Structures are given as structure tokens and as C-alpha cells.
């Protein structure tokens, strides 16, 4: 059983919306922090948003603030990333990650990673 499985990526015109899902299972349940990262070709992996399952709270990066939001569906063990007003610069592979408490925007905080889902925004 794969502990983190992303879905929902695709191609969309600038200004459009997508919703990414990350279903977590098994060993992923022991981690309190769940996050979305993205990585564009030739660029470093960037933290997009994170939430804390047990204590609550969420963060989004300045680059997506006001456009993206992260939420948690406890019933289905799913973390959602709602992406609105998409821009071509949002084009990247998006990854779900799970980890213990730490700097949410650093990839090194996270021990588990999904395989990613591609988001392409065309103008």
C-alpha cells in the first residue's frame, strides 16, 4: 500500500482552477504534518502549503497566498490543495509529503513523499 497517493493534476488555461488530492494511508498516519510541494524543471523543490493534522492550522507560501488553499478531509484521509487563478509559473510537478513538526517549507522536514502529479498552466 502506497502511503501517499496524489491525483487531480492536468492541463488548464491561465486563470483556471484545479484541485489536487493526496490520500494518505498506513505509515503516513504517524506523521502530524502534511504538505504540498512543487518542483519545476531546473528549479528547487518549493513548499506550497502545509497543515497540521492533530493541532490544526495551515500555512501557504507567499507565492500562492490568496489563490491556493489547503484542507483536510478526515473522513477520507485526504489532503486537498485547491488552486485558483492559476498562472503559467504554477506549472510544476506537485508532491504530497508527510513529516513530523518542523519548518514546513523545507523538504528535509518530510520523510514520506508521493510520486507527484503534473500541473501545466498554459496562457
CB 91 within 8 A of CB 64: no
Which DSSP category does 43 fall into? S
At residue 15, does pLDDT exceed 90? yes
- Evaluated on CA atoms 46, 114, 68, 59, the torsion sign reads negative
Instruction: Give pLDDT, residue 2.
Output: 86
State the average pLDDT for the chain.
Answer: 96
Instruction: Give pLDDT, residue 113.
Output: 97
Instruction: Give pLDDT, residue 47.
Output: 98
2 vs 108: CA distance, rounded Å: 20
Which DSSP category does 84 fall into? -
At residue 121, does pLDDT exceed 90? yes
Instruction: Give pLDDT, residue 34.
Output: 97
∠ CA 45-46-51, rounded to 5°: 125
How far lies 98's CA from each of 10, 104, 105, 120, in Å? 23, 10, 12, 24
Write the pLDDT tens digit of every residue in 17-70. Answer: 999 999 999 999 999 999 999 999 999 999 999 999 888 899 999 999 999 999
Average pLDDT over residues 94-114: 95
Amino acid at each position: 500500500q502506497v502511503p501517499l497517493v496524489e491525483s487531480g493534476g492536468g492541463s488548464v488555461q491561465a486563470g483556471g482552477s484545479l484541485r489536487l488530492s493526496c490520500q494518505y494511508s498506513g505509515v503516513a498516519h504517524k506523521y502530524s504534518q502534511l504538505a504540498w510541494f512543487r518542483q519545476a524543471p531546473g528549479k528547487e523543490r518549493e513548499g506550497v502549503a502545509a497543515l497540521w493534522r492533530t493541532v490544526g492550522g495551515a500555512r501557504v507560501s507567499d507565492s500562492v497566498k490568496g489563490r491556493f488553499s489547503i484542507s483536510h478531509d478526515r473522513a477520507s484521509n485526504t489532503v486537498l490543495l485547491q488552486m485558483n487563478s492559476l498562472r503559467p509559473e504554477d506549472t510544476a510537478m506537485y508532491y504530497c509529503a508527510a513529516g513530523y513538526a518542523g519548518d514546513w517549507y523545507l523538504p528535509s522536514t518530510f520523510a514520506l513523499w508521493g510520486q507527484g502529479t503534473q500541473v501545466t498552466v498554459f496562457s
